[in-house]
Amino acid sequence: MVTGANGYVASWLVKHLLDNGFTVHAAVRDPENKEKIGHLDQAAENANGKIKFFKTDLLKKGSYKDAMEGCELVFHTASPFSMDVKDPQKELIEPAVMGTENVLLTANEVTSVKRIVVTSSCAAIYTDAIDTVNAPGGHLTEDVWNTTASLTYQPYSYSKTLAEQKAWELAKLQDRWDLVTINPSLVLGPALNPKNTTSESVNILKLMGGGELKMGAPKMGVGVVDVRDLALAHYKAGFIPEAEGRYITSAYNTNFVEMSKILLPKYGDQFPLPKKALPKWFLMLFGPMTNKLFTRKYIRNNVNIPWKADNSKIKRELRISFRPMKETLEDSFQVLIDAGILKAK
Ligand X SMILES: NC(=O)c1ccc[n+]([C@@H]2O[C@H](COP(=O)([O-])OP(=O)(O)OC[C@H]3O[C@@H](n4cnc5c(N)ncnc54)[C@H](OP(=O)(O)O)[C@@H]3O)[C@@H](O)[C@H]2O)c1
Determine if 228 is a binding residue for ligand X (CB under 6 A): no
DSSP class per residue in 274-307:
--SBPPHHHHHHHHHHH-TT--HHHHHHHBTB--
Residues 6+ apart with CB under 8 A from 187: 8, 9, 199, 201, 224, 225, 226, 227, 230
Q: Where in 127-281 does DSSP place strands (E)?
A: 178-184, 186-188, 221-226, 245-249, 252-255
CA–CA dist 106, 109 (Å, integer): 5
Query: What is the closest distance, in whole angstroms, from the C-beta atom of residue 220 to ligand X in the complex?
Result: 14
Q: Report the residue from 51, 77, 104, 255 that binds ligand X according to the rule CB under 6 A.
A: 77
Label residue 265 exposed, middle or buried (CB < 10 Å: 0-12, 13-18, 19+).
Answer: exposed
Which residue number, 227 or 275, has a Cβ lying nearer to ligand X?
227
Residue 58 C-beta: closest distance to ligand X, Å: 4
Q: Which is nearer to ligand X, 39 or 219 (CB)?
A: 39
158 binds ligand X (CB under 6 A): no
Q: Of residues 20, 35, 38, 59, which one binds ligand X by CB under 6 A?
A: 59
Is 201 among the residues that bind ligand X (CB under 6 A)? yes
Of 160, 228, 234, 246, the residue at the interface with ligand X (CB under 6 A) is 160
Q: Which of residues 109-138 bind ligand X (CB under 6 A)?
A: 119, 121
C-alpha distances in Å from residue 136, one per residue of 120, 140, 141, 142, 309: 21, 8, 9, 11, 11
Query: Among 1, 6, 238, 311, which residue interacts with ligand X (rule: CB under 6 A)?
Result: 6
Total residues binding ligand X (CB under 6 A): 27
Listed ranges 13-21, 40-48, 196-204, 307-315: which one lies at the site for ligand X (CB under 6 A) = 196-204
The dihedral built from the CA positions of residue 288, 291, 292 and 298, taken in this order, carries a sign that is negative
* Residues 230 and 191 sit within 8 Å (Cβ to Cβ): no
Tell me which amino acid residue 185 is: S
Q: Is 313 in the site for ligand X (CB under 6 A)?
A: no
Nearest residue to ligand X on Cβ basis = 7
Which C-beta is closer to ligand X: that of 165 or that of 199?
199
- The footprint of ligand X on residues 243-282 (CB under 6 A) is none
| Residue 152, CA atoms < 13 Å, CB-side half-sphere | 1
Backbone φ and ψ for 295, nearest 5 degrees, come out as -80, 165
Per-residue DSSP letter, 12 = H
Task: State which residue, 55 or 280, has the beta carbon closest to ligand X.
Answer: 55
Residue 149 touching ligand X (CB under 6 A): no
- Quick one: 90 or 176, whose CB is closer to ligand X? 90
By CB under 6 A, is residue 57 in contact with ligand X? yes
Asked if 80 touches ligand X (CB under 6 A), the answer is yes
Alpha helices, DSSP H, located in 136-224:
155-172, 200-209
Q: Running DSSP on this structure, what letter comes out for residue 103?
A: H
Per CB under 6 A, residues contacting ligand X are 4, 6-10, 29, 36, 57-59, 77-81, 95, 119, 121, 160, 184, 186-187, 197-199, 201
